[in-house]
Amino acid sequence: MFVIKHDKVACIGCGSCAAICPNNWEMTSEGKSNPIEINLDVVGCNKDAEAACPVGAIKIIETKD
Ligand code: SF4
């Protein structure tokens, strides 16, 4: 299992996460991104979104269960 932590304050709204992983990231009317699903069975492209974020606003944490 994986949990996504998203620092909305740090997010500069560049759109990279939504472009790379559109099934799990959306852009909001505030000009920030938003994860659609926080708890994940499979990390998938969220790992790519984490790596692409220019301000380190996405953290993927692997949980024990
Ligand atoms: S990649 Fe990072 S800064 Fe860009 S929209 Fe996503 S969370 Fe925000």
Instruction: Look at residue 65 and tell me whether its pLDDT is greater than 80.
Output: no
Residue owning tokens 């709204």: 13
Whose CA is closest to atom 4 on ligand 1? 14
Q: Which domain holds residue 46?
A: 2-62
Ligand 1 pocket test, candidate residues 12, 27, 48, 59, most atoms within 8 A of CB: 12
CATH classification of the domain holding 14: 3.30.70.20
**Model confidence pLDDT, tens digit, residues 3-62:** 999 999 999 999 999 999 999 999 999 999 999 999 999 999 999 999 999 999 999 999
Query: Residue 5: its pLDDT value, please?
Result: 98
Beta strands, E only, 7-65: 25-27, 33-35, 39-40, 58-62
User: Structure tokens of 58?
Assistant: 């996405």
Structure confidence at residue 8 (pLDDT):
97
Q: How many folded domains does the chain comprise?
A: 1
In angstroms, the CA 4 to CA 16 distance is 16
The residues pairing with 3 across neighbouring beta strands, listed in sequence order, are 39, 61
Query: Which pLDDT score, from 0 to 100, does residue 57 have?
Result: 98
Residue in 34, 43, 39 with CA at minimum distance from that of residue 3:
39
pLDDT for residue 64 = 79
